[in-house]
């Protein structure tokens, strides 16, 4: 079976560094799906406006090389404990396929791109190939009492994010809210805890530089990407 993209995802997050580790964690983060030419017809999304959520099936296009081994180190466990790859949502998978549940913001027809699906809470980087979209159906997809394995055993608290006024003025109110919510998820590799280290994360057309001390993340500089 050959699987080819039906579209692309467009996001303010331009690299895999900083991508939320699960969909729905950053509801402020917006993005949109555009389709390949053969699917740019209004009837392809007819009825989608009556749903609140959408499943995206997509590809880990930024992963280089093949997945090796049958175990991975989940960030939720601090990157120090191995679990079976099929017991995690690690991006290092045999077929490099991702599955994300996102909220539909709205659907509109674009004069050039045809139907465009705007969503919130996606954990996809800009340019990610989309292989399929399917509506979320609550009676079949929701299992609120389900166990979540090691995820249930490890509490997670978002970081406090400090943004200097000079840096905050470079973004719109909505852009800044999404940036702060994304950084609050702590994009650093979990095995790194150097309070003096400066990290850089591409966001929109800017390079956001920050450091983390304890439970506080502070933006120290914002530069325009060249």
pLDDT tens column, 142-198: 999 999 988 887 777 899 999 999 999 999 999 999 999 999 999 998 777 889 999
Q: What is the mean pLDDT of residues 58-81?
A: 80
Question: Do 45 and 136 have their domain in common?
Answer: yes
Question: Do 117 and 219 have their domain in common?
Answer: no
154-160 long-range contacts, CB within 8 A, separation 24+: 154/76, 154/77, 156/76, 157/215, 158/184, 158/185, 158/186, 159/183, 159/184, 159/185, 159/186, 159/212, 159/215, 159/216, 159/217, 160/184, 160/215, 160/216, 160/217
Question: Do 39 and 100 have their domain in common?
Answer: yes
Question: Do 126 and 164 have their domain in common?
Answer: no
Question: Do 48 and 114 have their domain in common?
Answer: yes
Question: Do 36 and 135 have their domain in common?
Answer: yes
Residue 26 belongs to domain with CATH number: 2.40.30.70
Do the domain assignments include residue 76? no
Q: Where are the beta strands (DSSP E) in 82-128?
A: 83-84, 97-110, 114-120
Question: Do 209 and 110 have their domain in common?
Answer: no
Question: Do 175 and 203 have their domain in common?
Answer: yes
The pLDDT of residue 153: 77
Report the C-alpha gap between 177 and 69 in whole angstroms: 38
Report the C-alpha gap between 120 and 103 in whole angstroms: 5
The pLDDT of residue 81: 87
Question: Do 186 and 113 have their domain in common?
Answer: no
Question: Do 53 and 104 have their domain in common?
Answer: yes
Question: Do 40 and 101 have their domain in common?
Answer: yes
Do the domain assignments include residue 128? yes
- Give me the domain span that covers residue 173: 160-224
Instruction: Give the pLDDT band (50/70/90) at residue 65.
Output: low
Instruction: Give the pLDDT band (50/70/90) at residue 46.
Output: very high
The pLDDT of residue 221: 97
Do the domain assignments include residue 78? no
Residues 93-109: tens digit of each pLDDT = 888 999 999 999 999 99
Question: pTM of this prediction?
Answer: 0.92
Question: Do 169 and 134 have their domain in common?
Answer: no
């Amino acid at each position: 079976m050959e699987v080819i993209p039906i579209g692309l995802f467009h996001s303010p997050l331009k690299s895999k560094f900083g991508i939320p580790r699960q969909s729905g964690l950053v509801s402020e983060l917006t993005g949109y799906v555009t389709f390949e030419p053969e699917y740019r017809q209004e009837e392809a999304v007819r009825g989608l406006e009556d749903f609140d959520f959408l499943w995206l099936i997509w590809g880990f296009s930024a992963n280089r090389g093949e997945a090796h081994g049958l175990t991975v180190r989940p960030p939720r466990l601090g990157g120090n404990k191995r679990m079976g790859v099929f017991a995690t949502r690690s991006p290092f998978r045999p077929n490099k396929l991702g599955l994300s549940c996102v909220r539909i913001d709205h659907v509109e027809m674009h004069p050039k791109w045809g139907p465009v699906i705007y969503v919130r809470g996606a954990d996809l980087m800009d340019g990610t190939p989309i292989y399929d979209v399917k509506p979320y159906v609550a009676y079949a997809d929701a299992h609120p009492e389900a166990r979540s394995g090691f995820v249930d055993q490890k509490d997670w608290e978002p970081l406090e994010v400090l943004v200097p006024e000079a840096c905050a003025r470079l973004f719109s109110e909505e852009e800044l809210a999404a940036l702060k919510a994304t950084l609050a998820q702590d994009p650093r590799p979990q095995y790194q805890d150097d309070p003096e280290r400066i990290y850089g994360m591409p966001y929109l057309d800017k390079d956001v530089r920050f450091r983390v001390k304890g439970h506080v993340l502070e933006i120290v500089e914002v530069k325009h990407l060249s």
